[in-house]
């Protein structure tokens, strides 16, 4: 049965799979929770990443009062917030440092002040203070020598360093790496969870015997692909929602400064999800067709999940050694490519030809798996009872 009628059957099956799952609590609650978690994680990331500005309470006696404003200005350029306090005398100031109301007390001669702390001086503040004190000393010396201090100050102020950045993309690369890890984790979770859904969907039809009714009107292949596509679309929708939330949250909080980095990562992840899911879902479906009860499912999906876990672990090795030829090779081979290639694409390590080779091999792998899974599925899906041996399923002895 090919043509319009066959397509209609396929569409009906895929639509049922999609609709029943999208309306399920698993999808609605799961997606909402994941979206909140994702946004929360990114916001948290943003808080950790943003340089925390510390505030230091500094006390000045009358003699050192002149240092207060310049210190505040200099410290601010180093992301240090200085809060100045006026202290009536040294004894009071010492007491306040002792009690913790002040972090630092500056007293004595402005050119060589006494700096009192309880135990430790903030290094940024120390550098700012000593620079300031040297400036004061210099000004005094210039005035004493009779030269025009304002002219010299202007010259000093005009002196600049010239910044030459040899690796301007380092920041972008870090972001890409973070995004790459994120993509790999997301794909890993998606492949394992949605793959399991396919397998348990196959077993569900077997265990409650609706499979007999279905197969009296539908070809096994239509049922297999309808299920894979229906569940795949649900997964795609969920990833799309998560990707959108992630992208918006990440750019809004400036975790990712370059929207194009995130955009390519999300698009790459979605493309490879479609390919990887199709590949693994077919394996999961064939595996599911071997057993008749949900309780026995673990025995067949375990090894498949292990393969995905293995790929996931390989990702970290590849991420740490982006130029290792073995990693490059693995990232182009079908069982590994769905996770390694999008991650390498996100980090910017993958070259165009490698992506192309990986795509071609992946599509070939799906075609091969399609043939293999359809055969195993057709031969074993009606067999009820103990687990069907893989070789029997392959030979199709009934």
Partner 1 sequence: MAGGLEVRGVTKRYGELVAVRDLELEVRPGEVFGFVGSNGAGKTTTMRIVLGVLVADAGQVLWADSPIGFGTRRRIGYMPEQRGLYPKMRIGEQLRYLAQLHGTSSADASAAARRWLDRFGLADRAGDEVIKLSHGNQQRVQLAAALVFDPVLLILDEPFAGLDPEAVDSMSEVLHERAAAGVPVVFSSHQLDLVERICDRVGIIQRGHLVACGTIDELRGRGPRRLWVDAPAAPPGWAAALPGVSVDRVDGTRALLKLDASVDDQDVLRVALATGPVREFRRDQPSLLDVFREAMSETRVVAAS
What x-and-dash track marks residues 176-205 binding partner 1 by CB under 8 A?
----------------------------x-
Q: Shortest gap between Cβ of 290 and partner 1 (angstroms)?
A: 18
Q: Shortest gap between Cβ of 208 and partner 1 (angstroms)?
A: 6
Q: Shortest gap between Cβ of 42 and partner 1 (angstroms)?
A: 35
Q: Shortest gap between Cβ of 204 and partner 1 (angstroms)?
A: 8
Say how many residues touch partner 1, by CB under 8 A.
Answer: 23
Burial (Cβ within 10 Å: 0-12, 13-18, ≥19) of residue 164: exposed
Residue with tokens 């009071």: 92
Interface positions, 299-318, toward partner 1 (CB under 8 A): none
Residue with tokens 């057709």: 378
Are 383 and 398 in contact by the 8 Å Cβ rule? The answer is yes
Are 184 and 336 in contact by the 8 Å Cβ rule? The answer is no
Q: Shortest gap between Cβ of 215 and partner 1 (angstroms)?
A: 5
And the tokens for 334?
């079908």
Interface positions, 247-266, toward partner 1 (CB under 8 A): none
Q: Which is nearer to partner 1, 64 or 292 (CB)?
A: 292
Q: Shortest gap between Cβ of 285 and partner 1 (angstroms)?
A: 17
Residue 86 as a binder of partner 1 (CB under 8 A): the answer is no
What x-and-dash track marks residues 19-48 binding partner 1 by CB under 8 A?
-x----------------------------
Q: Which of 13, 102, 282, 300 binds partner 1 (CB under 8 A)?
A: 13
Q: Shortest gap between Cβ of 29 and partner 1 (angstroms)?
A: 16
What x-and-dash track marks residues 365-384 binding partner 1 by CB under 8 A?
-----------------x-x
**93-101 contact pairs (CB < 8 A, 24+):** 93/59, 93/61, 96/59, 97/59, 101/57
Q: Which is nearer to partner 1, 18 or 336 (CB)?
A: 18
CA quadruple 234, 235, 239, 240: dihedral sign: negative
Q: Shortest gap between Cβ of 375 and partner 1 (angstroms)?
A: 15
Q: Which is nearer to partner 1, 69 or 212 (CB)?
A: 212
What x-and-dash track marks residues 203-222 binding partner 1 by CB under 8 A?
-x---xxxxxxxxxxx----
Residue 4 as a binder of partner 1 (CB under 8 A): the answer is no
Question: Residue 43: phi, psi to the nearest 5?
Answer: -60, -40
SS3 83: strand
Are 94 and 116 in contact by the 8 Å Cβ rule? The answer is yes
How many whole angstroms separate alpha carbon 80 and alpha carbon 226? Answer: 61
Q: How far from 379 is each of 46, 220, 222, 384, 395, CA to CA, in Å? A: 53, 9, 14, 12, 8
End-to-end CA distance of the chain: 23
Are 301 and 199 in contact by the 8 Å Cβ rule? The answer is yes
Chain residues that interact with partner 1, rule: CB under 8 A: 1, 5, 9, 12-13, 16, 20, 204, 208-218, 382, 384, 397-398
């Amino acid at each position: 049965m090919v043509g319009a009628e066959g397509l209609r059957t396929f569409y009906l099956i895929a639509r049922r799979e999609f609709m029943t799952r999208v309306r399920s609590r698993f999808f609605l609650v799961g997606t909402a929770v994941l979206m909140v978690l994702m946004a929360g994680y990114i916001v948290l990331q943003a808080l950790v990443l943003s340089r925390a500005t510390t505030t230091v309470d500094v006390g000045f006696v009358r003699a050192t009062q002149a240092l207060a404003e310049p210190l505040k200005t200099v410290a601010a350029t180093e992301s240090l917030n200085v809060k100045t306090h006026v202290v009536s005398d040294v004894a009071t100031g010492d007491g306040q440092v002792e009690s913790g109301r002040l972090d630092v007390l500056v007293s004595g001669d402005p050119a060589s002040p006494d700096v009192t702390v309880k135990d430790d001086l903030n290094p940024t503040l120390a550098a700012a203070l000593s620079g300031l004190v040297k400036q004061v000393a210099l000004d005094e010396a210039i005035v004493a020598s009779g030269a025009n201090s304002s002219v010299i100050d202007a010259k000093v102020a005009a002196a600049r360093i010239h910044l030459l950045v040899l690796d301007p993309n380092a920041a972008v690369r870090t972001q890409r790496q973070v995004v790459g890890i994120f993509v790999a984790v997301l794909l890993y979770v998606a492949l394992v969870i949605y793959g399991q859904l396919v397998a348990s969907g196959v077993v569900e039809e077997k265990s409650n015997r609706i499979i007999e009714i279905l197969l009296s009107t539908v070809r096994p292949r239509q049922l297999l692909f309808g299920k894979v596509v229906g569940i795949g679309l649900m997964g795609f929708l969920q990833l799309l929602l998560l990707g959108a939330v992630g992208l918006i949250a990440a750019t809004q909080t400036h975790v990712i400064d370059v929207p194009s980095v995130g955009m390519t990562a999300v698009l790459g992840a979605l493309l490879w999800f479609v390919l990887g899911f199709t590949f693994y879902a077919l394996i999961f479906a064939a595996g599911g067709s071997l057993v008749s009860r949900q309780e026995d499912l673990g025995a067949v999906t375990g090894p498949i999940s292990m393969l995905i876990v293995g790929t996931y672990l390989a990702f970290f090795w590849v991420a740490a050694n982006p130029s290792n030829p073995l990693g490059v090779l693995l990232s182009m081979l079908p069982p590994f490519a769905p996770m390694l290639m999008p991650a390498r694409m996100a980090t910017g390590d993958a070259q165009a030809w490698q992506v192309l080779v990986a795509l071609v091999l992946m599509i070939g792998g799906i075609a091969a798996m399609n043939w293999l899974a359809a055969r195993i599925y057709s031969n074993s899906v009606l067999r009820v009872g103990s687990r069907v041996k893989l070789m029997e399923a392959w030979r199709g002895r009934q």
